[in-house]
Each structure stands twice: as structure tokens, then as C-alpha cells.
Structure 1
Amino acid sequence: MKNVRLNNGVMMPAIGFGIFQIPENETERIVNDAIETGYRKFDTAASYFNEEQLGNAIRHSGMKREEFFITTKLWVQDYEYDDALRAFDLSMKKLGLDYLDLYLMHKPYGNYRGYS
């Protein structure tokens, strides 16, 4: 799999596997299939409700955590500072991983919720 170098020097797989709209009860199996196929970059979000299943698949894969690039996203209701800290901690708990490779704001298109 080809990698790209991010501006901070981190290498990221050029192609990833998104798990949006995969039912919770199927996520772990599907991620396992994707790992067997060669995927190492996985994208989830708090609003997908399958972070825990992704983390389970990664931990049970038999591969080192460093071989994966994991992304999750902060949902819009948690954009305030304290809420973002709490949401990040919750995502990490659900994923059950020691670290996250990329944390994004989900739908970062302005202050439509009225936060200052």
C-alpha cells in the first residue's frame, strides 16, 4: 500500500477503509476482512457508533498497533473546549487503543451551532 507523508512527517496510507453505516454487529467482522485484504488505515467517528468494534478488531488482529493508522472524528455538539476533551476521552475509551493517529472535526464548516 502506498503511503503519503503528512506535513508533520507522519506517514499515512494513501487509501483507507471507512466504516460509516456499517452496523455495530457487523463492524468487527468487516474490519477483520479489510485487514486481511491489506487495509491499514481505518476511519470512524463518534457519530458512527462503531468505534468500540473497530478497536476490538485492531486489538484482536494479531498485528502491532503501529501497523495501523486510525482516524476518528469529533461530532458537532462537542466542539466547545471542555466537551471536546470529554468526547476525545470517550472515543479513546471506546476504541481501547493507546493512541490515535488522526482526530478530525466532523463537519467543520463554520459556526452554524452558534458557538463563539
Structure 2
Amino acid sequence: MTNNVITLNNGVDLPAVGLGVFQTPPHETTTAVEEALRAGYRLIDTAAAYGNGAQVGEGIRNSGLSRDEDFIETKIWISDYGCDATLHGFEKSAAKLGVDHIDLVLLHQPLPSTSRSMPTVR
């Protein structure tokens, strides 16, 4: 794998190529993540809705890399949109992954204009 990155507006380097675990059965996810990281992938893309967060975290821990060598991106499901709900969704995702931080959090899908406020940095 090459170390190509995309530098975000805030200066964070996002690996350009990563492993997505959408529809990866939980019993296969740990090995898939572990092997991808060993092969040189540094971005793991997951989401609360995928139902395999614990296995993603296990694969990351089993890879032998320190946490600062990988990049975890996750997505918040629509039921957790809104400032307080998003913060809660983030905490749930971090707990399932078993990590102390998540590198990038996205809203899983756009919604039509709603009265719910979007999350803000605190």
C-alpha cells in the first residue's frame, strides 16, 4: 500500500485508501481488519449501523499497530442526529470499538431540513 493521504481543511491527514466493513459479517470482520492493517491499509471505515464495531476494534488491537498508526472513520446513524444525540452516538461507537478516540465522525446520510440542530464542536 502507498501512504497517499488527503489533507483535510483542519490539517488532519486522511488516508486515501481504506477498508470498509459494510456488510462484513461480524465473524469475518476481526480477521479482515487485522489483515488489512497488516497489509498496509491505515483507514478503517465503519458505522454504527453496520453492527460489527466490536469486531472492528478487536481487529485493530490484534493488528499490532499502535492506535496512532491507524485512522478510524465512523458514521452516526440518523436516530443520533442532533447535538446531544450525536455526542451520545459518538460515545456509543467509541465504546463498541474499544478505542479512546475516533479520527473522523460523519453523519451517515443527509436528511431534509429538520428542526434538530447539527452537532457543534465543544
**Is the pair's TM-score, using the shorter chain for normalization, greater than 0.5?**
yes
Aligned length: 114
One-letter amino acid of the counterpart of residue 85, structure 1: L
Deviation larger for 77-86 or 89-98: 77-86
Question: Aligned partners of 1:14 and 1:109: how far apart in 2?
Answer: 26
Structure 2: which 5+ runs fail to align? 117-122
**Structure 1: which 5+ runs fail to align?**
none
Q: What's 2:76 paired with?
A: 74
Structure 1 ranges of 4+ moved more than 3 A: none
Residues 8 and 14 in structure 2, CA contact (< 8 A), matched pair in contact too? yes
Q: Using structure 1 for the length normalisation, give the TM-score.
A: 0.90
> Which stretch of the first structure deviates more once superposed, 52-61 or 42-51?
52-61
Aligned to 1:61: 63
Equivalent positions of 1:27-106 (< 5 A) are: 27-106=29-108
Q: Is the 8 A contact 1:80 1:115 kept in 2?
A: no
**Which secondary structure state, in structure 2, belongs to the residue aligned with residue 70 of structure 1?**
strand
Per the alignment, in what secondary structure is the counterpart of residue 94 of structure 1? helix
Partner residue, 1:108: 110
- Give a deviation string over 1:67-105, Cα, whole Å, max 9, x none: 101000100111122221211111010011111110000
Q: If the length of structure 2 is used for normalisation, what is the TM-score?
A: 0.86
